[in-house]
Structure 1
């Protein structure tokens, strides 16, 4: 559905304003779709992002600071998210031997199993673009960020 129909507005000052509003609207739409997708699995999109980061490090550990630097949403409260994932037995946290204030984090077998169960269907089923269109969109978004 076109942005004009979604927000019931047909006039925009410029094509750039229309594109910006469309981008904001679509980002919120995607977040809502992700929430709906992850809810039955008992995690959030942000927790999924952390599990993917940890899977990429597996079997090595990684610090919470490094996790935060790799996250899609860097404004997240990583400590709280890690505590929740640990409570669900999806990750292990241990005190870093070199710095007692830091934690070493690894993904558990349960975390790996959950990622396997979810698979990457979240990526495939959210937006209706073919591979060429997806690559073009990604390039345009990179250009937006300058």
Structure 2
């Protein structure tokens, strides 16, 4: 059994920010601290999400595909549209769909209007797993993000501005 790492006496990102300033990089110090903090927070959140989804046999990428299909009117979407909505390369969607199909969670069929394209359809097992995973994530991760509601709203708004400025939407 592995032990959880002990808490550090000081925030290493804060220490790094101070070192940036000491070296004369004051103008870049806030950006370095923000980017590094975002990346560390992403690691923390990813570990929490993975701990919930791993016992269910899926990754977050596969969960996103299942949820996108769950939210669609027919429970099916063209693979190309899945890639566009998830903002990932089509190869990533192919990999996720391959694994989901092997597990019996989705079904792939040829698009009726384009033989080169595929329609991905959620199976009953996929719908059930998506429901269970969402319930578990809501209880263990999304419903307990370690921030109050106002902070969450501010965080989403700030990161949204960053994403928009980068051309994400």
SS at match of 1:102: strand
Q: Are residues 1:136 and 2:154 paired?
A: yes
Summarize deviations over 1:38-68 as a string: whole Å, max 9, x none: 1000000000000000001142521111001
In the alignment, structure 1 segments of 5+ residues that lack a partner are none
Stretches of 4+ aligned residues off by more than 3 angstroms: none
For residues 10-29 of structure 1, what are the structure 2 equivalents within 5 Å? Answer: 10-12=15-17, 13=20, 14-29=29-44
Q: Which of the two has higher C-alpha Rg?
A: 2
Match of 1:47 among 52, 55, 62: 62
SS at match of 2:104: coil
2:133 corresponds in structure 1 to 118
For residues 67-82 of structure 1, what are the structure 2 equivalents within 5 Å? Answer: 67-71=82-86, 74-75=88-89, 77-82=92-97
Summarize deviations over 1:84-103 as a string: whole Å, max 9, x none: 10111111111112111111
Q: CA RMSD in A?
A: 2.1
- The whole-number CA distance in structure 2 between the counterparts of 1:131 and 1:111 is 31
Higher relative contact order (CA 8 A, sep 6+): 1
After alignment, is 32-41 or 121-130 more displaced? 121-130
Whether the 8 Å contact between 2:14 and 2:33 is mirrored in structure 1 is no
- The whole-number CA distance in structure 2 between the counterparts of 1:140 and 1:24 is 15
Whether the 8 Å contact between 1:58 and 1:107 is mirrored in structure 2 is no
1:57 corresponds in structure 2 to 72
Measured after TM superposition, the shift of residue 8 of structure 1 is 6.9
Match of 2:122 among 101, 104, 107: 107
SS at match of 1:101: strand
Measured after TM superposition, the shift of residue 144 of structure 1 is 1.6
- The whole-number CA distance in structure 2 between the counterparts of 1:97 and 1:48 is 26
SS at match of 1:93: strand
Tell me the TM-score normalized by structure 1: 0.86
SS at match of 2:16: coil
Tell me the TM-score normalized by structure 2: 0.75
